[in-house]
Structure 1
Amino acid sequence: MSHLANLAILLPFALPPAEMANDLLRVLRACKTPALAMLLARAPSPAIERFDGFSHALPHEIWLARQFGLDRGTQGSNSPPLACAAMRQLGLPAEDGVWFVLNPVHLHIARDHIVLTDARQLDLTEAESRHLFDTARTLVEEEGKLLRYGDAKTWFLRADDWKNLQTATPDAACGHNIDIWMPQGDGERAWRKLQNEIQMHWHIHAVNDAREARAAKPVNSLWLWGGATASLQAKPATAPTICELPSQLAVYAPPGSASAQADNKLIASDQLIAPALAGDWGAWLQQLHALENEQLAPALEALQSGALKQLTLVLSHNTALAEFVITRNSLRKFWAKPSLKKLLV
């Protein structure tokens, strides 16, 4: 690692949920994550922020939005305004107007409610998505709206009269009864009407017939979120100037962040998100162990050698976020034995 003044590592869902925490920590101790245990033990008490369990964005999503001036001051009552940034990321011009991200999804019908499942599990192909998109576009245009194709998982809807519509990120709503997370405000009824029409056409679509024939989940709905205008640009006050973010999270950072040369760096990982949302704690443990080797051990070594002056670990679960700040001086607290107890937030 080259010399850096500050490194922040964001690990969404690295904090175990309260109901599983003791069991997961017991297994983690056996799996050996010495770098994480050392960093947590030597860090001062973390800054902890707690969030409403019904927030329309997850703690790490709100934190990223704040870093890059995209939080809108909503404190989780709306999804971050990412649609136009996502369009640019996918090579689409962000035209004037109000744009929303539109994700093809699978809604699971439970006994007395409907649950949004993780779109990562759909394995939607480009060809399938294109066919479904064509059907949806016809219906969208009949309502006087515009639909643009980004990639198999990501489309964009322009609806200028829905500017004040409050939405939720798909990960915030994932696994829950969707009623609480459905769009609310101006355009709410119009969206539900359009959504229902698309759902009815997709119900008898050849794409879903073929998916069900091979025991794949049907694509039976769309998730609307991230409303933004083209004029909205990230305006960070103290954002890191070098960013290494996976594609799902890179949309928060302004263009050019990844190549800027400076001594403040942000690295984020999305490896723990899917296992946590699915409740697959075996996979979660495997991924956390991988992060120990890929990111945490090198960061500890950089602190010890003086190549890094300060490390900030930003860890979260679905209702809390903790920031641990560790310096080289922090590591001199030899009496603080390596421990994972501070993960119990």
Structure 2
Amino acid sequence: MRIVLPGALPHPREARELTSHLQTSAPTLLGWLRQARARLIPADPAHTGCTPHELWQLMAQGFHAEGEQNFATGLGPLWAKDVAEQDQPVWLVELVHVSPSRDGAALLPASELAITPEHSVALYASVLDLFAEAGFHLSPSETSRWRIALPEGYTPACASPTLVSLTSVNDWWPQDIASRPWRRLSNEVQMLWFEHPVNQERYQEGLPPVNSLWLFGGARARQFSSMAPLQDTHCYGELQEFSVKHDWGGWLAGLEQLEKRVFAPLAGGKMPELVLTGTDRIVELSRPTTLGRWAQWLPGSQNTWSRWWSPQN
């Protein structure tokens, strides 16, 4: 069994302060952390273009970036539905909300917008011809994302919508000359959707409007060694939001609930594989060897896990 915990790896400084609370909130998890073998994976979003959790998903499926691609390009074929073409770039646009912010512009991803299938279909129909006239061709994929074919030779650098929502649109918005047609098209979409009936309905329901599209992807399905669902892998995302907001009281409360619901029932058996992600790193934890199990009782060995949990440098 493998358990994936996005947001379970605080910044080292905060991790040190939280250590003393782990025995109370999640004693089973703490026991696993102390005895496990750890593998550290750097996951700086500035280089990968995606969140550490997304990076781990791509790596787990055997994605290999090519040339100047970042890892975010792999999210196109990973998230697209029914990709039949193994050697064609897969690009997606996600329905998002963009608004002014102190740092320029902020983005809400589709996962936070409660978009209905009916709203997605209506918005799709309203821009289909507009995209075709500009040389971009849309095709349906799912409620929150659509497939898009780009003009020949246009391969923009990209970032995942989730990462953009955690940073700033300005950090990732393409400013090069080649992206001018896409910028123009994006502006036209925003104007068209400003008073669209879908958004008028959303205003009345107190929901933010769906007013833009975020372009990402570009890799090919053949760049994955496997696209099959991961076996016996369970992801629990309760800690992620608390980690992003630096709400460590909520984080500990979430950890306590996971202890009761997930960790404690497994305490009598074999330790599961664990995947913890933070803001710029991933730690994979596996069961210790026989020697490792004995070594945990040596003086000082109970604290060796702090080398990766809360490194000093």
Give TM-score scaled by structure 2 length.
Answer: 0.81
- Residue by residue over 1:110-151, the C-alpha shift from the partner in whole angstroms, topping out at 9 and shown as x without a partner, is 135101224322111122222111112221122232212222
Aligned-partner Cα distance in 2 for 1:344–1:85? 32
Contact 1:145/1:159 (<8 A) preserved: yes
CA contact (8 A) 2:58 2:71 kept: no
- Tell me: CA distance 1:77–1:105, structure 2 relative to 1, closer, same or farther (3 Å): same
Please state if 1:138 is matched with 2:129: yes
Counterpart in the other structure of 2:117: 126
**1:210 corresponding residue in structure 2:** 201
Residues 1:112 and 1:67: Cα distance change in structure 2 (over 3 Å): closer
Q: Deviations over 1:251-280 (max 9, x none)?
A: xx513654xxxxxx5443444334434555
Task: Tell me the secondary structure at the aligned position of residue 90 of structure 2.
Answer: strand
Query: What amino acid does structure 2 have at the position aligned with 1:149?
Result: P
Question: Could you tell me which of 61, 75, 87 is aligned with 2:80?
Answer: 87
Equivalent residue number for residue 5 of structure 2:
11
Question: Structure 2: how far apart are the matches of 1:20 and 1:226?
Answer: 33
Trace 1:184-263 onto structure 2 (pairs within 5 A). 187-229=178-220, 232-235=222-225, 254-255=227-228, 258=231
Structure with a larger share of its residues in helix: 2
Contact 2:43-2:55 within 8 A present in 1 as well: no
Is 2:64–2:223's contact at 8 Å kept on the other side of the alignment? no
Measured after TM superposition, the shift of residue 196 of structure 1 is 1.2
Distance 1:121 1:324, change over 3 A: same
1:29 Cα deviation from its structure 2 partner: 4.2
The equivalent residue for 1:296 is 263
Identical positions, percent: 27
| Corresponding position of 1:37 | 30
Q: Report the alpha carbon displacement of residue 28 of structure 1 after superposing the two structures with TM.
A: 4.3
Cα distance in 2 for partners of 1:197, 1:302 equals 57
Answer yes or no: is the 8 Å Cα contact 2:13–2:310 preserved in 1.
no
1:47 aligns with 2:39: yes
Are 1:65 and 2:58 counterparts?
A: yes
SS of 2:158's equivalent? coil
- Hey, what does 1:319 align to over in structure 2? 280
Q: Is the 8 A contact 2:45 2:52 kept in 1?
A: no
Q: 1:178 to 1:150 in 2, by over 3 A?
A: same
Unpaired stretches in structure 2, ≥5 consecutive residues = none
How far residue 59 of structure 1 moved from its aligned partner, in angstroms, is: 2.2
CA shift for structure 1 position 202: 0.9
Deviation at 1:96, TM superposition (A): 7.2
> What is the CA–CA distance in structure 2 between the aligned matches of 1:73 and 1:267, rounded to whole Å?
29
Aligned in 2, Cα 1:19/1:160: closer, same or farther, shift over 3 Å?
farther
- Structure 1: tracts of 5 or more residues without a match: 1-6, 236-252, 259-264
Looking at structure 2, the residues matched to 61 and 331 of structure 1 have their Cα atoms a distance apart, in angstroms, of 32
Deviations 1:48-88 (A, max 9, x none): 23343523112232233223231305798451423234333
Q: Residue 8 of structure 1 contacts residue 312 of structure 1 at CA under 8 Å; is this kept in 2?
A: yes
Retained in 1: the 8 A contact 2:113–2:207? yes
Contact in 2 for aligned 1:101/1:224 (Cα 8 Å): yes
| 3-state SS in 2 of match to 1:148 | strand
Residues in 1 aligned to 2:283 and 2:158: alpha-carbon distance in whole angstroms: 25
Aligned match of 1:4: none
Residues paired across the two proteins, number: 305
For 2:269, what is the secondary structure of its paired residue?
helix
What SS is found at the alignment partner of 1:224?
A: strand
Match of 1:344 in 2: 310
Paired residues of 1:99 and 1:159 also in contact (CA < 8 A):
no
